[in-house]
Structure formats: C-alpha cells, structure tokens
A and B are shown apart, each in its own frame.
Chain A
Amino acid sequence: MSLRRRTVSTVLIALVAAGLVRGAAAADRSTTHPAVELLDAQGRPVLGSGAPVSPRTTCGACHDTSFVAAHGYHVAAGADERTAPGGVSDGRPFDVSPGPFGRWDPAAYRRLSLDDDERFDLGVADWVRTHPRHVGGGPAEQTAAGRPLAQGGTRTETDALDPATGRPVRWDWAASGTAEPDCFLCHLATPDAAARAATLARGAFRWAATATLSRTGLVEPDDAGGWRFVRGRFDPDGTAPSARLPLRNPTSGACGACHFEATDDRTALGAAGPWSPRDPRGAGQVFSSQRLRDSGFNLRDRETLDVAFDVHAARLVGCADCHGSPSDPARPASGRAAAPRHLVVDARRPSVGEHLRAPSHDFGKGVSSRGHAARAHDGTMRGCAECHDVASSHGRWLPHAVRHLDALACEACHVPRVAMPAVETTDWTVPSPDGRPALAWRGVEGRVDDPASLVVGYEPVLLPHAGADGRTRLVPHHLATTWYWVAGPTARPVRAFDLVAAVSDGAGGWHPDVRAALDSDHDGAVSAAEQRLDTPAKADALARRLVAVGVPSPRIEGAVDPTAIHHGVVDGAHAVASCEACHADGSRVARPFEVSDRVPAGAVARLSPDAAVALPGAMAPDGRGRLVYAPEPAQAGRWVLGRDRPVLVDRVGALALVATVLGVLGHGAARWVASRRRKEAP
C-alpha cells in the first residue's frame, strides 16, 4: 500500500472513529476533523511554497474533490447545462443556462455577455468578481469547452469589461488564477466570506480560498495584495491544528452565508443594526431558532412574539437535515426520488467510507418557483410528510383534511406571515449615478436601513405551484417586480454601464437633463421619492438620454418574480387554523397582493418566463399607481367554500324560494276560495 493510500485510509478511519459520520447537523458541529496539511495547487506544503492554498489538493488528499466538483450544483451554477442563446426551456432569448451562470436575473441585473453582443456587459472574470456567493470551480475554472480558462476560449471567457470605456479588454487569467471550489467556505467553522469576496472582487482569484481562512489566524494579508502564512500558528510538523482549522459538517449558518437569513448564531438577530439580509432576494425569510421578541429588530408587538423565527430551527433541525447529501448514509434520501414506486425507501446506501471519500454535493432540493437549474434533483429533499404524520395530526380537528392537504401546501397555513421585510420593487429605470437601483421594501414602516422603522412583516400570497409529487397546491409566495430598460429586437436589458452613462454627469452626480426631468420640487436634488419615471415626460427624458449614449429604441419592461416561502415555519399553535381565514369574504386565498409600489409610465409587468407558478386572477395598477395582483382561485379551477358564490346557484335558490312562497300562497288562496264556495253552496 502506498504512503498516500495509507494516509487516506488512516484519515478516513480517524474520521469515522471521531464520529464525523454523524448525520444530524445539530450535533455534528464538533471539530474532530483531523489536522490537515495545507497544500498548494502543486501539492506542496504552503508553508514552504508560500503559494495559495488549494482546497482541491488539500482536501483531495482524502476526499475525491473532482467527484465533489462534478456532483455539486453549487459548483456548476448552471454552467453544466449551458445551451445556445434561447435554448433554455422557459428562459429568455439571451439566456444560456438555467442557473445563475447564464440566466439573467432581473434583480441582480448584470448579464453574462454573449459572444456576439455589441455591448459587452459581463465576462466570466467579471461574473466571478461580482458573484462571491458562487463557491468556486465550474465556470470559475473552466471554459464551456472544458479547458482551463487560462488557455483561452470565447470572448466572454477571455475578456472583461473595462469600467472606464465600457469596452471588453483581455483578462489576464495567468495573473489572477482561477477560483477553485472552496471547501472551507462551508466546512470551516469560522470562514471569512467577506475577505474571500473582497479577494475575488480584486481579481485575485487563486487567493480566494486562502482569504477564507483569514479568521483562523493561520494566514494574514501581505503587502502585495496576497496572503502569507503565519508559521508559528501551525503545528511543528507543518499541519494546521484542528483547533485553528475546525472543519465540520456545514451548519445552517454556513448555508446562511449565501441563502437568505439562515443562522445558528446565538447572537440576537438585529443586534448589529437594522435588517440587512445577506440575500436581499430571500423575501424576508429567516431560518433561526431565535424568538422574534429576542431579536434586536423593532418589530411590531415584539413583546408578544414568543414564536421562533422558524420552528424547525428551534427544534434543532438544520438545513442539511432536509437538504442533505444524497450519498450520506446517515440521511437516507427522499424515498420518492431515490426508490422505485414499489419501495418506500431504497435501503441500499453507500458505506460511510465511500461517502467520506466521494460525498455527493447535489444536495436535496425541492421544486423551485423560479429558475430551472439542477432539475434532475428536484424533489430530492426531505419533504414535510417524510417527518410529520400530517394525516393523523390534522385529521383529528381539520374538517375535510384530505381535501385541505390536497389543495394546500403545509406552508400555506404554517407560514401565515413572513416576519421580516422583503424587496418589493427593484427599479433599474433610474439607477443612482453610482449604479444602484431604487429599492422599495414591503414589511417595514419607514426606511429599511433605519433601526427606528417599525418592522411589520407581510402576509405572503398563495399561488398554485406543482410540488415534487406533481400535485399543484397553493404555496405561499412573495412576488417582487423589477423594472428595467430593454433594447433591440430580443429585448435585451440595457447594460448597466450604459444606464450609468445615461443618468450620471461623469463626476458622480446626476446628468443635468435627468435632474431637470426628475427634480419635481426644483430643489436641485433628486430625492428617493423623485427617483422614478411616473410620468411619460420623465420616461421620455430617460429614453432620450439612453439614445444619446447609443442605446437604440429603449423601452421599459417589468418582470414579476416569485419566491416560494418555505422557511419561517411556525408550529400548530401559531398556524392558520381558523376556517374564516379562507372560507369567508376577504379570504387569504384571494387577498390582493401589492406587486410593485410603482408602475413606470407606459410600462407593463409580466411574470418572468422562468417562473414555475401561475397567477390566476388579474394584475393591474390601482388608483394610487401601485401594481396589485388580485388572485382569483376560480380561474385555477378552485372553489373556495364560503367565499365563492356562483350566480347560477344563487338565482336557482332565489327562484326556488319565490316559487315556494307563491306555491304556498296559491295553495292557500285556492283552499280559501274553495272553502268559501263550499259555504256558499246551498
């Protein structure tokens, strides 16, 4: 047996012995992972070479990192499903993948350029710099043809945007290196995501994983923009002590570094300031065991909010307990996806050693309401009914339980409100001169960044959505609208560089023409309230400016994007349990939902093409200039007892009543007449 294989075996056995095979995230936060030697990309100890840490070789000493990268949709980000422009099912004509790499996201706005784009917006290097939530690897390492990025490729892969000229320039991949899949980002107890993001933004991609280690004390920034290793903090044999490099199964907090607001931190949420979610598109969802009243947020009726942000988190269920690795022997995957129809669950599981050597990172997922990346893994997560005996717990009190469970997702009642604010409108039609969109938040009275503003949360809208079992049920959703300029025959969004060129004066201020159009109160400034195109004159002024910077025939479009609400679950005591909540006038099922706080002049918003929900009902501006969606369950074939009143039944009933009364009166009259006649008869 070679030394390397012996080492691998020893470490795997040590891992097993150390209990790292434990499945549940709640308990598996130990730091019993053996100490590791940090290696560079060539497999040399970094203490000797001084080169960046390579997770691929460091972790690859025991784990099959190539397998992990190939079986992890967080790595691929949709790049493994790349198509020609327009080839994405339910995508836009210029989308090249169903995932974050290649699918245009109106809220994030910037768009990966196509090779034939006249106006270059985002090369691969720009995408890596501006998407620190990507874990690395995949498109951050390789071209679409599977070659290293440094070996050249298409223009999108070789070039980056010159922010001064707006033109593409060659990106020096040899100098920047590439961003490897960063195991430390999720598996280190103390990752420094901010340092990694800053390193990526600086274009020092090969140092990104090293930057993630900055909180361990093993590394510190050097004067040349890189990082150096602090020898005195390593063990004498050159390994990084596990006390400094605590590696473990990912916790909910690790997932929360990117996904909305998931945390297992015991520090009160909001203690550091007002609501500022790491993922603004998380629709205000929070996955935390903390009670709302213990948070630092200025919540309405806070003292009465004894409920936890999420009851699952409060009961020690972590992200990975439902969204676990399908190869984890401690977490049998969802029976539906993993087994043929005749089996409840496929009992054949990889051994602990097999899993540790090559753990699948295609984590269990549901069926997204937006975007279609990694659809092969739809329905692989652990659903509610796989833990809860829903029928028995609801059958005792809920009338027509089967019908309710057939029509409603569990979240429809168990997420009655979303506690925190969510971005309702992202308006790119008039970005600020430094390129930021105007944002409007729901669920807060006042500015979201003001700690004194009252946080009230919001009630999500119930939309039909097909789940993993193929059944369409009502699922709580958030709807957010993005307004933006498009141009050209394929209605490509106007690139951010041109937008800024149109609204700014080149010195950080508003362009005079834009200021003159927007400054309604003539105070010489454009306030937040004025930063919107609510009249045709203002829209025309911006359109003229866009034409002036070279954008042909600009026009405004709106995209409504749904976000399904699956987190922020409350227990039965706090769930919707009143019949009148749905089966009466003002039913939750048909309650109007404000989709945008504004409608730019002449613009129309539509549901994004990749949305996997329907909007039965009408979406139209109201009298106050807001875009409101009014659900109509009947259009989706749903009859809501107590709310819906079909006219025909009402009329038949009225006719029956009248006929009965007339019949009784007629019969009575006839008998009265007959009796008179009998009396008068001789």
Chain B
Amino acid sequence: MTPRVLALLLGLVGLAASAFVAVVVPATAHETSDAPRERLPRFPEPTDHAAYFTRPFADGPAVTRTCLTCHPDAAREVKGTAHWTWQGGHGVRSDTGEAVAFGKRNVLNNFCIAVPSNWPRCTSCHAGYGWEDASFDPAQAADDRVDCLVCHDGSGQYAKDPQGAGRPDRGVDLLAAARSVGRSSRATCGTCHFKGGGGDAVKHGDLDETMRFPPDRVDVHMGRHGLRCADCHRAEGHRIRGRLMPTDADGTRVRCEDCHAAAPHGDERIDLHLRAVACTTCHVPTFAAETPTKMWWDWSKAGRDGDPEAVAHAIVADTVAGGAEGRLVPPAVLALFRRVGTDPDVSTHYDKKKGLFLLAREQVPEYRWYDGTSSRHLPGERFDGDGPVPLNPPHGRVGDPAARIVPFKVHRGVQPFDAELRHLLVPHTFGPGGYWSAFDWERALVDGAKASGIAYSGHSTWRSTEMVWPQNHMVRPKTEALRCTDCHGDGGRLDWAALGYPGDPAVRGGRVAAGLLDVATRPGATR
C-alpha cells in the first residue's frame, strides 16, 4: 500500500468520523435524558467524631461550645436562618397597609394557633435552647444556645423535652450524641417536621414517621432510592433550600427539575402536562399514605366532660343530621363527617383540652393553581369576608403561565375570633392559667392577647379557617402515579370549572388552546 493510498483512506475515515460527530452525537444529546442520580449533590465522607469527645457534657450549650471550637462560624450561620429566627416572611396588612415581618414566632395557624403565651411547648422544636418566653431574643441570644445536635445527631436517642423550650430530654446521653454527629438525616429532620402540629402526622399530610423508612409505595425517593432530606433541601452555610408557602419568590424553592429532566417521561403528551401541572399532582395521588393526618380541628368543642368517644359520637351525629354542632362545618368537611363510621380511613378524636378532630389517611388532595408564592393572614389583620378565613392562600390563576396545578392538603378548623375587632385571637393554652388547665376561654384569650399584642375587645366568637399545605413528599413511583382517567373524563378528581377551565382540557384544550392565558403572556404576544 503506497503512502498516498494510506493517506486517502485515513482521510476518508476522518471524514466519516467528523460526520458522525456532527450529526449523530448532537441528535443523541437532544434526546430526553432523565438521570436524576447524576444530579444529586456529592457530600464528603463525614468525619468520625467519636474520638473527639470523651468526657460527659453538662448540658446542650456545653456541647455547642465544643462544636464551635472547630466550627466557629456555624452558630452565626444558623442564627441567620429561619430555623433560628422563626421569622422570614414579609407581608402587608390588608386593613392598615402596615408592613409586617412575620414568621412562626408570631403568625396564627389553625392547629395550636400561635406561639405567644405558649412558648415552652411550641419552642420545643426550636433549633436552640431556652426560648422560654417573650424575653428570648433570637438575635441577641448567645451562640451556645444553638442546638447542633438536633440536626446532626446520629445516635438516634437525642430528643427534646416536649415542654422544655428546646432543651434536651432528661434521658438523653449528650456524650453519645456528640460522638455520633454527622450529616443530617431523615430522622433528625423528622424530629420536628414529622411532628408539626403537636404529634406525628398532624400537620403536613406528607410528612410523618413513616418517612423515616418509607416503603416504595409511600415515597420512591426515600424508600427505593434512600435519599435524605438534604439531598433535595440542599444547604449552604446552614441555609437550607425550600420554604413551604413563601410570600415571595426568593429562588430557594426545591424543584423536581433540580434532579429530573424537564421532559422526563418519554411521552410527549405527559410531558406537555408539565406546562400546567406540577409533578406532584400526579406523583402524590394521595397524602397521609399510612398514618392519619388531621383534617379538621374544632376548638369550639373543647371543654366538654364525659367519655371522649361519646362526646365525639354525639357531635358527629348532630353534625351529619344538620344540627347546630355543624353550624361552622364547611361542605368539604361535612363530606368527611359522613364517612365517619363507614370508612376506616376517616376517624374522629375528642380531647377536652383541644376540641374535636377529624383525621384521615389516604386522602385525595385538593388542587389549586399555585405560582410558588402565597399570602399570609397577618397577626391582628381584620377579616370582614364571608366564609372561612384563608390563613395562607396560594397565589395563582389559570391565566398565569407561571402557575401550575398543585395538590394541597387543606386543613380546616374553628378557632377564636374577635367579634368586634374581627380578627383571629391567640389563646393562652399551655402553662399555668392556660386553657388546658383552667378551661376558661375568656381568661385564655385575655392572656393570649397580652402575650401576642393582638387586641381583644372582650367579645369573642368562633370562626372557621382554612390553611393549605402543598403536598411535596410521599412521592409515588410512576406505577402509582395518576393516570389520564383519574383527572379527565367522567368523575375525574379535578374540578375544571373551579380551576377556571371551560371544560375538561383533554377535549377542550389546555389553557393555551382555550385562550385562558393572560393576553400579554400568550405565545407570540407583543410585549
């Protein structure tokens, strides 16, 4: 073979290879590729701290001081986060126009209602030690008040005293906990977040103790793939991404697209849904997969003596019969009341201190448009509207291209309301003189008003409220996800009219085809 022929052959091979690279490789690269594992954060191997600590610790702050000797910035970082300040939201009161900074420390919910006047019980979930009363100022608290162990314990035995203002339980072996520290885990996050609202599964609907070791059918991420909370809620300088119902888009949302491809299904029709439907809408077909969650908390029924089951039964019977007990029960809750006794997934619980609860498991979420931001009913804000007081209504409309249909648990309740000033009231429940010991609503409301700074006219009534909880966890594998007919067609779970559609978009077209998007945002619109 002459050198000329050899050169010609090599040239042809090179030309073919170039053509392959130019044509085939880009085509392959454009194909949908969903490789979420490759996008998971890579954590360094945790340092074994067992050898560092040999002597017992006197208390939690002593542990923290030791931590800070090697991690001097840690306390400062933590003290800049919402886990410490219990504040971070900013809102404007609709009645006065006043700008209000808010957070867990001062807002009202429809579970235990509010922190002020009930600190030691509520702050048992604070990432610190000693938030006993209104005098605790997170900004001024000493660094050693930060509780490192609650997030970094690996011993599994670290726990907080449920009434101890964040202090460790008496039986905790602080030395063992300190020797075990490492990355946060499902267990450490779950210590507080699985028990929001005062007990396992009470508040969120998608977070409870089953998430420590969930089976595949409960959560595919943590079950099948063994993910930890921090794999998605990634942290930098102790600032952890992800806020439940933020009032502003601060860019810290955890998104499925952080790991998954934008069009991951390999099915064009399903992928097109992502323009209008959150991933969780299909992949969280029900919440409270194993453990019942609270759906209804009626404080107005508190204080009744007698057998709790009998009290609950009487209230349910009267409510279902259309009696006065159900005066404030909205239709969605009345439907649950009607299932009591026949549906094993729905049950009641009565507690003289707290009133009547409805609990349910395997519940179908309610679906609303959500653009990732929400409003917050602010402390002392006047409410003159009819119907339940919306405590954290999500923002979003069918016409907003940034909004998607998202599944929510809607927790509804009845709680104290000032009949003259027309705002929600804070009752003093926990501690000396609180309602849970004195069973005196008037005294509880007066004390609560003093502690919270929310005025009380002396004339209270009961008011129904609702609070939404987006369902982001308990994500099911594709085999358990919703299918077309779950939402579309006769008897589908979505209320298209309520969502703003003229009819089922499967046949009427989506919001682009149906011309529902805001004019300025439509494809081709001139801006």
Are A24 and B507 in touch, CB under 8 angstroms?
A: yes
- A27 adjacent to B483 (CB under 8 Å): no
Interface assignment of A29: CB less than 8 Å from any CB of chain B: yes
Q: Least Cβ distance of A48 to chain B in Å?
A: 35
The answer on a CB contact under 8 Å between B506 and A26 is yes
Q: Known contacts A251-B490, A266-B491, A316-B489: does B503 contact A27 (CB below 8 Å)?
A: yes
A251-B490, A264-B490, A266-B491 known; A26-B507 Cβ under 8 A:
yes
Asked if A420 CB lies within 8 Å of chain B CBs, one says: no
Residues of B within 8 A of A314 (CB): 483-485
Contact A27 B484 (CB under 8 A): no
Kindly state the separation between the CA atoms of A291 and B508 in the bound complex, as whole angstroms: 25
| A584–B490 alpha-carbon span in the complex (Å) | 45
CB-contacts of A225-271 with B (<8 A): 251, 264, 266
0 or 1 for each of A303-315: is its CB under 8 Å from B? (1 = yes): 0001010000111
* Residue among B479, B488, B503, B508 making CB contact with A316, cutoff 8 Å: B488
Given known contacts A22-B507, A27-B507, A306 and B485 CB-to-CB distance under 8 angstroms: no
CB neighbours of B506 from chain A (8 A): 24, 26-27, 316
What residues of chain B lie closer than 8 Å to A308, measured between beta carbons? 483
**What residue in chain A is nearest B490 (Cβ atoms)?**
A29
List A contacts of B483 (CB < 8 A).
289, 291, 308, 314
| A contacts with B: majority SS | loop
Partner of B504, one of A27, A251, A313: A27
Interface centre among B479, B484, B488, B503 (most CB of A within 10 A): B484
User: How far does the alpha carbon of A289 sit from the alpha carbon of B269 in the complex, in Å?
Assistant: 17
Pick from B269, B479, B485, B490 the residue with the most CB of A within 10 Å.
B490
Assembly CA distance A264 to B490 (angstroms): 8
Q: State the Cβ distance, B24 to closest chain A Cβ, in Å.
A: 13
User: How would residues 490 to 508 of chain B score, 1 for a CB under 8 Å from any chain A CB and 0 otherwise?
Assistant: 1100000000000110111
- Taken residue by residue from 263 to 285, chain B's Cβ proximity to chain A (1 for < 8 Å, 0 otherwise) reads as 00000010000000000000000
Q: Tell me the bound Cα distance from A342 to B373 in angstroms.
A: 56
Flag if A315 contacts B484 (CB, 8 Å): yes
| Chain A residues in 8 Å Cβ range of B485 | 266, 289, 313-314, 316
Closest approach, in angstroms, between the C-beta of B155 and any C-beta of chain A?
A: 38
Interface string of A8-50 (1 = CB under 8 A from B): 0000000000010011101111000000000000000000000
Query: In whole angstroms, how far apart are the Cα atoms of A23 and B483 in the complex?
Result: 22
A571 (CB) vs chain B CBs: closest residue = B267
Q: Total contacts A to B, CB within 8 angstroms? A: 45
Q: Are B479 and A27 in contact (CB under 8 A)?
A: no
Contact status B479-A306, CB under 8 Å? yes
Task: Select one of A19, A27, A291, A306 contacting B489, CB under 8 A.
Answer: A27
A29 touches B489 (CB 8 A): yes
- Are A264 and B489 in touch, CB under 8 angstroms? yes
Q: Give the distance to chain A from B478, nearest Cβ to Cβ, in Å.
A: 8
CB neighbours (8 Å) of A23 from chain B are 507
- Please, which residues of chain A bring their CB within 8 A of the CB of B491? 266
User: Which residues of A are found within 8 Å of B490, using beta-carbon distances?
Assistant: 26, 29, 251, 264
Rounded to whole angstroms, the CA-CA distance of A499 and B195 in the bound complex is 74
Complex Cα spacing A251 to B485, Å: 14
Find out whether the CB atom of A19 lies under 8 angstroms from the CB atom of B479: no
Known contacts A251-B490, A264-B489; A26 and B479 CB within 8 A of each other: no
Q: Which residue of A lies closest to B266 (CB)?
A: A573
CA gap between A489 and B7 in the complex, in Å? 87
Q: How far is the CB of A269 from chain B (nearest CB, A)?
A: 13
| Complex: A266 Cα to B490 Cα, angstroms | 9
Complexed CA–CA distance, A186 and B479 (Å) = 34
CB–CB B488/A26 < 8 A: yes
* Cβ of A28 to closest chain B Cβ, rounded Å: 8
Chain A residue contacts of B508, Cβ below 8 A: 27
Tell me the nearest residue of chain B to A251, going by C-beta.
Answer: B490
Tell me how far the C-beta of A254 lies from the nearest C-beta in chain B, rounded to whole angstroms. 12
- Complex Cα gap A316–B491 (Å): 12
Q: How far apart sit A28 and B503, CA to CA, in the bound complex (Å)?
A: 10
Q: Give min CB distance, B506 to chain A, whole Å.
A: 5
Choose among B484, B504, B507 the residue that contacts A289 (Cβ–Cβ < 8 A): B484
CA distance A316 to B489 in the complex (A): 7
Q: Hey, which chain A residues are within 8 Å of B488, CB to CB? A: 26, 316
Give the distance in Å from the alpha carbon of A29 to the alpha carbon of B490 in the complex.
Answer: 6
Residue of B nearest to A23 (CB): B507
Chain A residues within 8 Å of B269, by CB: 315
A22 contacts across to B, CB distance below 8 A: 503, 507
Are the CB atoms of A26 and B503 closer together than 8 Å? no
CB distance from A263 to the nearest CB of B (A): 11
Q: Which residues from A are CB-within-8-Å of B489? A: 26-27, 29, 264, 289, 316
Q: Please, which residue of chain A has its CB at the minimum distance from the CB of B508?
A: A27
Q: Which residues of B contact A (CB under 8 A)?
A: 269, 479, 483-485, 488-491, 503-504, 506-508
Knowing that A26-B507, A27-B508, A306-B479 are A-B contacts, what are 16 other residue pairs whose CB atoms are under 8 Å apart, sorted by A's residue number?
A24-B507, A26-B488, A27-B489, A27-B503, A27-B504, A29-B489, A264-B490, A289-B483, A289-B485, A289-B489, A308-B483, A314-B483, A314-B485, A315-B269, A316-B485, A316-B489
Residues of A that sit less than 8 Å from B by CB: 19, 22-24, 26-29, 251, 264, 266, 289, 291, 306, 308, 313-316
Can you report 17 A-B residue pairs in the complex whose CB atoms are below 8 A from each other? A23-B507, A24-B506, A26-B488, A27-B489, A27-B504, A28-B507, A264-B489, A266-B485, A289-B489, A306-B479, A308-B483, A313-B485, A314-B483, A314-B485, A315-B269, A316-B488, A316-B489
